[in-house]
Amino acid sequence: MTKIFDGSSPFLGFPPELAKPYLHEKRIRGWGSTGTVFKRLLEEVKPQIILELGTYLGASAIHMATLAKSMFDHQILILCVDDFRGWPGFRDKFKFHQINGNVQLLYQFMQNVQTMNFTDHILPLPFSTTSAMSALCEWGVYADLIEVDAAHDFHSAWADINLGYSLLRPGGIMFGHDYYTKLDNRGVGRAVDLFAKLKGLRVEPDGQHWILRSK
């Protein structure tokens, strides 16, 4: 909070006036965001800090926060890393109003979190995955559970998996979506398989999700 938001919550005084006309009270959408893998891994790890790489509108984070609220006595913190820019052409399919190049994804994410009353549990880190994880490493912030679901090409997934694993506490678990997705000749799956082979880990598929357990 101090390093990124000058010591105060980004939800303080939210939403700003310029964004209000374009926000839905709740617009929670994602892909594979409510699979059984989430409850299973939360029960196993009992995390205090979760790092989510690629969050879009916060569907997975909100689902994990909802599960954790009913499962644990301790408070969890979910750090959601995303540049909140979408991708070229995404507005052809998903209608978001653009203001001076800003497509309002961050504000809609924050609105979703606020509507669901998780502003004390979910914090956006509005940067690229590489720059955010480099900073977290420098600051000594590590996670018990890491979800990798940002870009789906091989090189991006490879970078996220490698950096993410360096932020994983001993005994923690890293997992992600789109293990079988065909994009970039199964880019995500190839990155996961190669990383596991080089680290001597076993890939555990769970539907479209993949799981790697730290040694």
* Span 146-186, pLDDT tens digits: 999 998 899 999 999 999 999 999 999 999 999 999 888 99
pLDDT tens for each residue of 56-65: 999 999 999 9
In terms of DSSP bridges, do strands 209-213 and 168-176 run parallel, antiparallel, or are they unpaired? Answer: antiparallel
Cα 207 off chain centre by: 19
Q: What is the pLDDT of residue 94?
A: 73
Asked if residue 15 has a cis previous peptide bond (ω within 30° of 0), the answer is yes
Q: What is the pLDDT along the chain (215 residues), one digit of tens a residue?
A: 788 999 999 999 999 998 898 888 888 877 778 889 999 999 999 999 999 999 999 999 999 999 999 999 999 999 999 999 877 776 767 777 777 777 788 999 999 999 999 999 999 999 999 999 999 999 999 999 999 999 889 999 999 999 999 999 999 999 999 999 988 899 999 999 999 999 999 999 999 999 999 97
**8 A C-beta contact, residue 76 and residue 65:** yes
User: What's residue 33's pLDDT?
Assistant: 83
In the block, tokens 């609220």 appear at 69
Cis check: omega of the bond before 205, within 30 degrees of 0 = no
User: Sheet holding 49-53: strands in order across?
Assistant: 122-125, 77-81, 49-53, 143-148, 168-176, 209-213, 204-206
Query: How, if at all, do strands 77-81 and 122-125 pair?
Result: parallel
Query: Which tokens hold the place of 104?
Result: 């309002």
- Output the pLDDT for position 111: 97
204-206/209-213 β-pairing? antiparallel
* Other Cβ atoms within 10 Å of 36 Cβ, number: 10
DSSP 3-state of 211 = strand
pLDDT at 151: 87
Q: 80 - beta bridge partners? A: 52, 124
Give dist(CA 184, CA 88) in Å, integer. 16
Report angle CA 59, 60, 62 to the nearest 5 degrees. Answer: 65
C-alpha distances out from residue 76 to 102, 106, 136, Å: 30, 21, 17
The reported pLDDT for the residue numbered 62 is 97
pLDDT, residue 35, reads 87
Q: How many residues does the chain have?
A: 215
- Rounded Cα gap, residues 81 and 101, in angstroms: 20
pLDDT at residue 119, as a whole number: 97
